[in-house]
Amino acid sequence: MKRVFSGVQPTGNIHIGNYLGALKQFVELQDDNECFYCIVDEHAITVPQDPKELKKHILDVAALYIAIGIDPKKSVVFVQSQVPAHAELGWILTCVSNTGELFRMTQFKAKSHGQESVGTGLLTYPALMAADILLYDTDIVPVGNDQKQHIELTRDLAIRVNNRYGKTFVVPDGRFLKTGARIMALDDPTAKMSKSAVNEMSRISLLDEPSKIKKAIMRATTDSEGSVRFDIENKPGISNLLSIYSAFSGTPIEELERQYEGHGYGDFKKDLVEITVNALNPIRERFQEIRYSQELVDSLRDGAERADAIAVKTMERVRDRLGMGI
């Protein structure tokens, strides 16, 4: 059995990009692997958060994990700050990393662009992400394409520690899907779909009502050519919608192109609305059932205990290799 680790930030508006790029993989992997799915609240505070909102979003993500089909009895579902070893190993890996490689991270560049000053945590964030992964001797990290550079850094840090101090960490691999790894904004298909974009119509959140889903898809930016064809360079809008359709339905993009030959964007979009609504309806219903349940809190407590038991052991090994403590 392989170890799988991944995480989602509790920063609101979990959208179909998160789902099709990462969360869908979480469910697929849980039957044949030992999976750890984390709600990374220590990552969320790299930018200021309202405490009440943060707490709400943590439970929202937990409920969404379960609503999409993650079984907390099979997989370990937990909140990062409930397992103190994340912060401890995060610090150690901050010391192992160098500023040059952290300043090169495109996510840091994007988030700090144009700002006079940003929180230090925004820079050191990838070392904490590496800690999340390496604490559990992880083999596989299912994520979207935007995390590729962070996974590379995680591998580099693991190899650096192993070379300096002797075998300490498993060197993990990222797992990226062929379709869905980078879902773009519906209003601007040259930008990634994101939780924080101001325009609500730029994304479809997992909890959106059918009327909102319909509006966002019918208004999605396309082009004036009118043929349903995948061509990222020249037709980024319709290509993005084809990726979403394919990821939700499991139908290969080439087959969709054949199916919609001679049809306009209107027909295609109408069908995409139906496919999306049918995929998200059961998630929204299950979410409502469990979001305010004691069962949810209990499974997070249980998950933190199970994760902590492993993380504590890893930290004993790490401190020992590095000569820390007494």
- Residues at the contact surface with ligand TYM, assessed by CB under 6 A: 5-9, 17-18, 21-22, 40, 43, 129, 132-133, 141, 143-144, 146-147, 150, 181-183, 192-193
Q: Is 270 annotated in the active site?
A: no
Calculate the dihedral angle through the C-alpha atoms of 291, 293, 296, 297, rounding to the nearest 10 degrees. Answer: 120
Q: Is 192 annotated in the active site?
A: yes
Element (H, E) at 298: helix 294-322
Nearer to ligand TYM, 13 or 299 (CB): 13
From the CB of 224, what's the least distance to ligand TYM, in Å? 25
From the CB of 175, what's the least distance to ligand TYM, in Å? 10
From the CB of 308, what's the least distance to ligand TYM, in Å? 17
Identified catalytic residue from 52, 56, 148, 195: 195
Q: DSSP readout, 90-133? A: HHHHHHHS-HHHHHT-HHHHHHHTT-S---HHHHHHHHHHHHHH
* Dist CA 45 CA 124 (whole Å): 12
Smallest Cα–Cα separation from 170: which of 283, 25, 310? 310
Nearer to ligand TYM, 193 or 213 (CB): 193
From the CB of 241, what's the least distance to ligand TYM, in Å? 14
* Dist CA 148 CA 162 (whole Å): 21
Nearer to ligand TYM, 153 or 181 (CB): 181
Residue closest to ligand TYM (Cβ): 21
* Dist CA 18 CA 275 (whole Å): 17
Q: Is 24 annotated in the active site?
A: no
Q: Token pair of 6, please? A: 């991944």
Nearer to ligand TYM, 120 or 293 (CB): 120
Smallest Cα–Cα separation from 102: which of 124, 117, 82, 86? 124
Nearer to ligand TYM, 72 or 142 (CB): 142
Q: Token pair of 284, please? A: 């929204």
From the CB of 8, what's the least distance to ligand TYM, in Å? 4
Identified catalytic residue from 111, 148, 212, 215: 111
* Dist CA 296 CA 290 (whole Å): 7
Which positions are catalytic? 111, 192, 195
